[in-house]
Amino acid sequence: MSAISRRHLVTMAAGIVAAAAAPRAVFAQAPAAAPAAGPFVLPPLPHPTNAFEPHIDAKTMEIHHGKHHAAYVANLNNVAKTNPQLGSSKITDVLGNLNALNDDIKFTVRNNLGGHANHTMFWEIMAPNGGKPEGEVLAAIDKDLGGLEKFQNDFNAAGGRQFGSGWVFVTVSKDGKLAIETRPNQDSPIMDGKRALMGNDVWEHAYYLNYQNRRADYLKAWWNTVNWSKIAERYAAAKAGTLGV
């Protein structure tokens, strides 16, 4: 073998080693995503990430809140750099009137502000020992959703039927009427002038580490993380016309 071809082989081998090692090295050295400065803020989780085990594992909570929701917030802050009115408007006003936005930001705002609103609600209604529905909320569940057991079964079924990524919500009208509704992607009932009393995230990122393809098991287990006193507060706010995201 000539010196040239031997050198060529050594170079090739080194290239292969470098190529194989590169993705891991890049991943390990990647800095944690710094939140883009701006008007949108990632709300802190109300409980430690391991507070919901075994129903939702700590790693899923960390990634879901610290990566997925954080990315929606960072994307919004990037858009707000060139569209400062976005950061000074009420989230419900923007989502309730997406057609007022310029075409160049409409899609980004729909996905990321929808995601920000949905996840802000989602963390707010979570608690490790969240009790049971009582009082006016329970009365509304009985009246509009056929009682707690039927409601939970119907809600789980609707979440299971949502094809691909999306959400299953209970919407609440100003007169307190409840309905189970699903939305694709990060769409929110706010986009239709409604409000979400509560909702569950059926994107795979919400459950895949622990449940893989078993979305139905996740939907069932999720009820163990629901904060019913917070939902009672949201119900009262909806009837008073003051419920935000």
Piece of the chain touching Mn ion by CB under 5 A; list 33-41, 90-98, 154-162, 196-204: 196-204
- Looking at residue 226, the DSSP 8-state letter turns out to be B
Q: How far is the CB of 166 from Mn ion (least distance, A)?
A: 10
Residues in CB range of 75: below 8 A, 6 or more apart: 108, 112
Site string for Mn ion, 113-152 (x = CB under 5 A): ----------------------------------------
User: Between 133 and 199, whose beta carbon lies closer to Mn ion?
Assistant: 199
Q: How many residues bind Mn ion (CB under 5 A)?
A: 2
Piece of the chain touching Mn ion by CB under 5 A; list 51-59, 91-99, 145-153, 201-209: 201-209
Q: How far is the CB of 118 from Mn ion (least distance, A)?
A: 7
Q: How far is the CB of 91 from Mn ion (least distance, A)?
A: 17
| Size of the chain in residues | 245
User: Between 124 and 201, whose beta carbon lies closer to Mn ion?
Assistant: 201
- In the complex, which residue's CB is closest to Mn ion? 201
131-135 long-range Cβ contacts below 8 angstroms, 24+ apart: 131/227, 131/228, 131/229, 132/228, 133/228, 133/231, 133/232, 134/228, 134/232, 135/232
Q: Can you point out the beta strands (E) in the chain?
A: 166-172, 178-184, 195-201
- Looking at residue 131, the DSSP 8-state letter turns out to be -
Burial (Cβ within 10 Å: 0-12, 13-18, ≥19) of residue 237:
middle
Piece of the chain touching Mn ion by CB under 5 A; list 92-100, 125-133, 188-196, 200-208: 200-208
Q: How far is the CB of 10 from Mn ion (least distance, A)?
A: 48
What does the DSSP assignment read for 29-73?
A: HPPP-PPPPSS--PPPPSS-TTTTTTTS-HHHHHHIIIIIIHHHH
Q: How far is the CB of 125 from Mn ion (least distance, A)?
A: 14
Q: Taking CB under 5 A as the rule, does residue 201 contact Mn ion?
A: yes
Identify residue 61 by its one-letter amino acid code.
M
Q: Which of residues 12-71 bind Mn ion (CB under 5 A)?
A: none
Applying CB under 5 A, the residues found at the interface with Mn ion are 201, 203
